[in-house]
Amino acid sequence: MGLRSHHLSLGLLLLFLLPAECLGAEGRLALKLFRDLFANYTSALRPVADTDQTLNVTLEVTLSQIIDMDERNQVLTLYLWIRQEWTDAYLQWDPNAYGGLDAIRIPSSLVWRPDIVLYNKADAQRPGSASTNVVLRHDGTVRWDAPAITRSSCPVDVTAFPFDAQRCGLTFGSWTHGGHQLDVRPRGAAASLADFVENVEWRVLGMPAQRRVLTYGCCSEPYPDVTFTLLLHRRAAAYVCNLLLPCVLISLLAPLAFHLPADSGEKVSLGVTVLLALTVFQLLLAESMPPAESVPLIGKYYMATMTMVTFSTALTILIMNLHYCGPSARPVPAWARALLLGHLAQSLCVQERGEPCGQSRSPELSPSPQSPEGGASPPAGPCHEPRCLCHQEALLHHVATIANTFRSHRAAQRCHEDWKRLARVMDRFFLGIFFSMALVMSLLVLVQAL
């Protein structure tokens, strides 16, 4: 800064000492005008004819580019073109006296400049003014155009991420002059977006301007300021493809564990694999999100999906226990047989092999032993009488034993088949329930993208 001021002072000294003969006609008039205006001019005082007079400053902002939106630190970095315009009562002249010269361009450090700063800036650098020229007109109007890279604080609300919209305000005002000394007003109802470079992540909806007059606790006089509110809407296509769509597909895959055969041995493995995949995506999401009290929409969707997958895996384990009930298990209760194996199985089309859909299984009659009739084979025993009753009683005892063994085995087999059928009914029932839940949750989230 010191070297630049030294070079500027040296340039002004050379300009004052430069012979008029070395310049053209227009240059001689501009040099004469410059010497006349700045002979007794000082840039340290507010340029008004009356000290009680309010100096009006018009502020115009043009948004050129969104450099960065740091959501974790809640800092917005913008590239702006800032135009300030005011009237200097000591820099006026008659154009006819200077050959019709009505405007000159001089370094901005030579004239008084309003101390308008960004109130909500978020960097540690000292506020500095760009070394650009000002346009000075004959009626005393000073127009100062300067580019600026601003870093402002912006409260980020990620509740609806990645379909969120943000409102970031940039408040400009004088740092030392109150409203009775300097009044700042916006030019137009909003900032200009004519030269805006489109951002790949954010879509700009507008940047309206609002003037406010506030009174702070430190001072009794009012302080006017101008707030430009940048309205942003996130472009969610990248997040939908990279974070949301894989989660939707995985969540629709999780209920299919109920459709896998129990003998495959992969029902529980599928649920655990889906849960691990969702955990990986949850970690990727947590890295890009700022820590906040409100959970984003996609985070709620992830947690709901992980909870659903956890419950489906637990239910799969319980259903596997029903499927592998051995012959020693108790029979299916009467209410479960009537409700689940009857009505629910018929509505879900769960039938035995070879049984048409919609028909329940007819109860089988238990085999009853029949007494042998007619001629029996010659008995083999101590009694040599072929028609002796002792031989028929022994035969009936053996037949009854065989029949009882067969009935016991058949009952145990039927009990095991009933439990397996009950497991299939529960699989089909929870397949519909969890698939419907996953589909509804996915549609609710995807509708936000439309």
**pLDDT over threshold 90, residue 87:** yes
* The pairing of beta strand 55-70 with beta strand 182-186: parallel
Range with lowest mean pLDDT among 67-71, 186-190, 405-409, 437-441:
405-409
Among 94-98, 216-220, 314-318, 388-392, the least confident range:
388-392
Query: pLDDT confidence of 449, banded at 50, 70, 90?
Result: low
Positive/negative CA dihedral, 429, 435, 438, 444: negative
Please enumerate in sequence order all residues whose Cβ is within 8 A of that of 76, keeping only pairs 6 or more positions apart, or say none: 66, 68, 69, 70, 151, 152, 153, 154, 168, 230
Assigned CATH topology for domain 27-234? Acetylcholine Binding Protein; Chain: A, (2.70.170)
Do the domains 27-234 and 240-346+396-448 sit in the same CATH topology, yes or no? no
Lowest pLDDT segment from 92-96, 188-192, 224-228, 354-358: 354-358
Contact present, 86 and 57 (Cβ < 8 Å): yes
Long-range pairs for 125-132: beta carbons < 8 A, 24 or more residues apart? 131/4, 131/107, 132/108
149: nearest Cα among 168, 174, 173, 121: 121
Which one has a higher pLDDT value, 1 or 345?
345
Angle between helix 297-323 and helix 267-288 axes, rounded to 10 deg: 170
Q: Which two tokens stand for residue 400?
A: 């009854």
Tokens 């408040």 sit on residue: 171
Domain 240-346+396-448: give its CATH architecture.
Up-down Bundle (1.20)
User: Average pLDDT in the 198-218 region?
Assistant: 91
% of residues, the chain, pLDDT over 90? 34
Q: Per residue in 404-435, pLDDT tens?
A: 776 766 666 676 677 778 888 888 888 888 88
Alpha helices for 212-244 (secondary structure H): 237-239
Instruction: Tell me the C-alpha distance between 269 and 157, whole Å.
Output: 38
Locate all alpha helices (DSSP H) within 324-388, ordered by sequence: 334-338, 345-347
Confidence of residue 2 (pLDDT cuts 50, 70, 90): very low
Q: In this structure, how many other beta carbons lie within 10 angstroms of the beta carbon of residue 2?
A: 6
Nearest to 256 by CA among 41, 432, 48: 432
Percent of the chain as helix, strand, coil, to the nearest 5:
40, 20, 35
Specify whether the backbone of 153 is left (phi greater than 0), alpha (psi in -120 to 50) or beta.
beta
- The answer to whether 435 touches 309, Cβ cutoff 8 Å, is no
Separation CA 140–CA 89 (nearest Å): 6
* Calpha distance 292→295 (Å, rounded): 7
DSSP 256: G
- In the predicted structure, residue 198 carries a pLDDT above the cut 50: yes
CB 347 within 8 A of CB 437: no
Predicted local confidence at residue 326, as pLDDT: 61
Average pLDDT, the chain: 80
Q: pLDDT digit string (tens) for 140-187?
A: 999 999 999 999 999 988 888 888 899 999 999 999 898 899 999 999
What residues does each domain of the chain span? Answer: 27-234, 240-346+396-448
Q: Which residues contact 204 (CB under 8 A, 6 or more apart)?
A: 63, 66, 193, 196, 230, 231, 232
**Nearest residue to 191 via CA among 164, 231, 233, 223:** 231
Q: 23-37, 118-132, 317-331 — which one is most confidently predicted on average? A: 23-37
Q: Closest Cα partner for 53 from 174, 184, 182?
A: 182
Element at 105 (helix H, strand E): strand 103-107
pLDDT in tens, 339-373: 777 777 777 777 665 455 555 454 443 344 444 44
Q: What is the pLDDT of residue 340?
A: 75
CB proximity list for 423: less than 8 A, separation 6 or greater:
262, 319, 320, 322, 323
CA 78 from centre of chain: 22
Q: What are phi and psi of 19, to 5 degrees?
A: -65, 140
- Residue 359 pLDDT: 54
Per-residue model confidence (pLDDT) at position 251: 84
440 φ/ψ sector (left φ>0, alpha ψ -120 to 50, else beta): alpha
Tokens of 187: 């030019």
